[in-house]
Amino acid sequence: MNKAANTYWTDTRLAAQRPLPRAITVTPARGSAIAHAREETQSRRASRSPFVAFSVIMLTLFVFCVSISLRTQAEVQAAALRHETLNMEVEILRNTNSALEQQMRRLRTDPRAIEATARERLGMVRRNEIIVPAAQ
Q: Render pLDDT for 91-109 as a digit per residue (tens, 0 to 9).
A: 999 999 999 999 999 999 9
Contact (Cβ atoms closer than 8 angstroms) between residue 66 and residue 60: no
The residue ranges of the chain whose pLDDT is under 70 are 1-38, 41-48, 136
pTM of structure: 0.46
Q: ∠ CA(69), CA(70), CA(72), 5° rounding?
A: 65
Residue 106: partners with Cβ closer than 8 Å, 6 or more residues away = 113
CA distance 103 to 121: 14
Contact (Cβ atoms closer than 8 angstroms) between residue 35 and residue 27: yes
Q: Which of 103, 83, 101, 79 is nearest to 91 (CA)?
A: 83
Q: What is the DSSP letter of 127?
A: T
First to last CA, the chain: 118
Q: Render pLDDT for 14-27 as a digit per residue (tens, 0 to 9).
A: 566 666 566 656 55
